[in-house]
């Protein structure tokens, strides 16, 4: 016990704190860009799949292929795929940005399915009614479908956000110094695992917990107000 | 020249043919009813007329001009003129009765808000729901929801009102309130194309009855002819069956 306290004292240096904060910042950035960019692009992809114009058919097919492919490839493989894609293109991009692009690629694929499922939960009858009243697709979504989809979209979306924070640890495999990488660095410096990974565990919790609370509150609010 | 003319219209859901040659003519101010056994394509025909199903062959003429339902512009034009009321009401569940009626005139037609709201209130009052303006669909009975749907269709000021078995999903005691609302419209000279199983009602309001079977229009004429003196064997069999009830 005395040794542990002593170790904490040596661990708690300004340098280590900054290192940990920077690593946490990267984890947060990776997760946030993956979730936000993924949600925006995923939403757009879900909308695209509802268009009917013949001119957009190739885009729709591409969208389906994209989603079905990246939902089936492990995150780590996507990371390497993006890594080597940039290399093949002769682009010298920092590994952090490779990880950011990967999280966007994955986030888009998963969240587009979450959004699509939300859209699908609105009865066909209401889509038909809107169509026969000459609503455009965007009007149908805005006034009828989206207000009724939030309830269906929110729980799986937040579940994905949370699991995504953890998945971002894989970015350490291509050399991004995020939280998991920082844990390994501490451990390699001879700190006991309790300290090295305990601090990391705490950092993950600090990032995830507020998001989980926020998600729960959103769901609670939606459940009370129903579809209105 | 009839206002709406269908000549030999056929349509299919995927590879399953559902309409195999429907012809009919509708004049302005006329009320035509489609009758026939289930699965004869009556509802499908209405779906074709609001652009939810594109016919595979045949001709549709509006005011004498052919309508090509492969053109998005033609579908838009058709939907501007025709308003449909569905069997299952198809109300927007996230909107109050008033909002359901106002949304399309406001957002699609871009009519002035004040006028739209006045109109919506008048229509809802007219169908007996003046005290339910702010109720959501799930707070209303089936009959009330169907009357909201009727008001919603009328708020678009359509040239033709299409009614798709509007009383079939209702409890018997609620049927009358919806039929009364439609009778009122009939008295005002609204052009209507009605799919209904309420034979008494059909006989009473229709100027023309079209008997359909197997996706085809078999016989059409004034209600007196179709119900009392049908000319075809199919129509005779059908009428004999419904009268036995």
| C-alpha atoms less than 13 angstroms from C-alpha of B225 in its C-beta half-sphere | 12
A→B interface, C-beta within 8 Å: 123, 125-126, 128-135, 139, 143-144, 147-148, 227-228
Asked if B211 contacts B193 with a C-beta cutoff of 8 angstroms, the reply is no
Stated length of chain A: 228
Full DSSP string of A121-178: TS-HHHHHHHHHTT--HHHIIIIIIHHHHHHHHHHHHHHHHHHHHHHGGGGGGGT--S
Nearest C-alpha in B relative to A53: B72
Structure confidence at residue A228 (pLDDT): 58
Q: Rounded to an integer, what distance in angstroms lies between the CA atom of residue A146 and that of residue B92?
A: 12
| Least confident residue range of A57-71, A115-129, A192-206 | A192-206
Q: Rounded to an integer, what distance in angstroms lies between the CA atom of residue B207 and that of residue B172?
A: 25
Structure confidence at residue A15 (pLDDT): 87
Q: How far is B91 from chain A (nearest CA, A)?
A: 7
Predicted model pTM: 0.87
Nearest residue, CB atoms, B136 vs list A123, A126, A228: A228
Identify the burial level of B114 via C-beta atoms within 10 angstroms of its C-beta, where 0-12 means exposed, 13-18 middle and 19 or more buried.
exposed
pLDDT tens column, B12-66: 998 889 999 999 999 999 999 999 998 899 999 999 999 999 999 999 999 989 9
Q: Rounded to an integer, what distance in angstroms lies between the CA atom of residue B81 and that of residue B97?
A: 23
Q: How far is B184 from chain A (nearest CA, A)?
A: 23
Structure confidence at residue A193 (pLDDT): 85
Q: Is residue A16 over pLDDT 70?
A: yes
Give the pairing type, strands B208-213 and B31-35: parallel
Output phi, psi for A90, to 5 deg: 70, 20
Nearest residue, CB atoms, A132 vs list B50, B88, B92: B50
Nearest residue, CB atoms, B90 vs list A125, A134, A227: A125
**Are the beta carbons of A227 and B91 separated by less than 8 Å?**
no
Structure confidence at residue A127 (pLDDT): 95
**Are the beta carbons of B93 and A126 separated by less than 8 Å?**
yes
Q: Can you read off the two tokens belonging to residue A95?
A: 């590994």
Nearest C-alpha in A relative to B149: A129
pLDDT tens column, B101-151: 999 999 999 999 999 999 999 999 988 899 999 999 999 999 999 999 999
Asked if A128 contacts A144 with a C-beta cutoff of 8 angstroms, the reply is no
Q: Where are the alpha helices (DSSP H) in chain A?
A: 2-11, 14-48, 57-70, 75-88, 95-120, 124-132, 137-139, 146-167, 179-188, 193-225
Contacts of A143 in chain B (CB under 8 A): 92, 95, 103, 107
* Beta bridge mates, B59: B7
Residue among B123, B70, B63 nearest B97 (CA) = B123
CA angle A109, A112, A117 (to 5 degrees): 130
Q: Rounded to an integer, what distance in angstroms lies between the CA atom of residue A203 and that of residue B193?
A: 67
| Helix B142-154 × helix B172-187 angle, to 10° | 20
- Which residues touch A30 (CB under 8 Å, ≥6 apart)? A96, A99, A100, A103, A168, A171, A176, A178
Q: With an 8 Å Cβ cutoff, is B51 touching chain A?
A: yes
| Least confident residue range of A157-161, A219-223, B215-219 | A219-223
Q: Determine the average pLDDT of the residues in B160-171.
A: 88
pLDDT tens column, B49-64: 999 999 999 999 999 8
**Are the beta carbons of A133 and B91 separated by less than 8 Å?**
no
Tokens 């190739």, residue located: A58
pLDDT tens column, A43-99: 999 999 998 888 999 999 999 999 999 999 999 999 999 999 999 998 888 999 999
Nearest C-alpha in B relative to A125: B90
**Are the beta carbons of B92 and A144 separated by less than 8 Å?**
yes
Give the pairing type, strands B31-35 and B216-221: unpaired
Phi-psi region of B9 (alpha: psi -120 to 50; beta: other; left: phi over 0): beta
Q: Is residue A227 over pLDDT 70?
A: no
Q: Is residue A224 over pLDDT 80?
A: no
Q: How far is B78 from chain A (nearest CA, A)?
A: 9
How far are the Cα atoms of A96, A180, A210, B10 from residue A206, in angstroms, in the given order?
22, 14, 7, 64
Give SS3 for B33.
strand
């Amino acid at each position: 016990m005395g040794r542990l306290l002593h170790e904490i004292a040596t661990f708690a240096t300004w340098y280590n704190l900054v290192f940990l904060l920077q690593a946490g910042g990267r984890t947060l950035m990776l997760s946030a860009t993956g979730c936000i960019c993924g949600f925006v692009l995923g939403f757009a992809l879900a909308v695209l799949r509802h268009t009917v114009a013949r001119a957009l058919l190739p885009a729709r097919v591409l969208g389906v292929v994209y989603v079905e492919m990246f939902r089936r490839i492990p995150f780590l493989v996507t990371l390497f795929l993006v890594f080597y894609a940039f290399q093949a293109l002769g682009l010298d991009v920092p590994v952090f940005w490779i990880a950011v692009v990967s999280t966007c690629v994955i986030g888009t694929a998963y969240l587009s399915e979450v959004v699509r499922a939300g859209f699908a939960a609105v009865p066909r009858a209401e889509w038909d009614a809107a169509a026969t009243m000459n609503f455009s697709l965007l009007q149908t979504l805005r006034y009828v479908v989206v207000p009724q989809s939030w309830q269906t979209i929110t729980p799986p979306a937040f579940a994905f956000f949370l699991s995504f924070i953890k998945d971002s640890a894989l970015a350490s495999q291509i050399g991004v110094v995020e939280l998991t990488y920082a844990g390994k660095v501490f451990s390699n410096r001879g700190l006991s695992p309790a300290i090295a990974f305990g601090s990391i565990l705490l950092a993950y919790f600090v990032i995830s917990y507020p998001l989980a609370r926020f998600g729960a509150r959103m769901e609670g609010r939606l459940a009370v107000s129903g579809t209105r | 020249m009839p206002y709406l003319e269908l000549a030999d219209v056929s349509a299919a859901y995927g590879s399953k043919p559902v309409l195999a040659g429907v012809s009919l003519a509708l004049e302005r101010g006329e009320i035509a009813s489609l009758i026939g056994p289930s699965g004869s394509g009556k509802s499908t025909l209405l779906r074709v007329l609001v652009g939810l199903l594109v016919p595979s062959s045949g001709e549709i003429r509006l005011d004498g001009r052919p309508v090509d339902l492969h053109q998005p512009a033609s579908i838009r034009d058709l939907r501007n003129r025709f308003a449909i009321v569905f069997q299952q009401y198809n109300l927007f569940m996230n909107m109050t009765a008033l909002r359901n009626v106002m949304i399309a005139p406001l957002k699609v037609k871009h009519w002035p808000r004040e006028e739209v709201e006045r109109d919506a209130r008048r229509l809802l009052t007219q169908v007996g729901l003046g005290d339910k303006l702010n109720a959501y669909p799930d707070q209303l009975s089936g009959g009330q929801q169907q009357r909201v749907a009727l008001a919603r269709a009328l708020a678009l000021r359509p040239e033709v009102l299409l009614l798709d078995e509007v009383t079939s999903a209702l409890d018997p005691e609620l049927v009358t309130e919806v039929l009364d609302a439609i009778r009122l419209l009939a008295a005002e000279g609204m052009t209507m194309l009605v799919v209904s199983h309420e034979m008494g009602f059909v006989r009473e309001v229709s100027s023309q009855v079209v008997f359909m079977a197997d996706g085809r229009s078999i016989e059409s004429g004034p209600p007196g002819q179709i119900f009392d003196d049908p000319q075809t064997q199919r129509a005779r069999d059908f009428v004999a069956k419904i009268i036995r009830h």
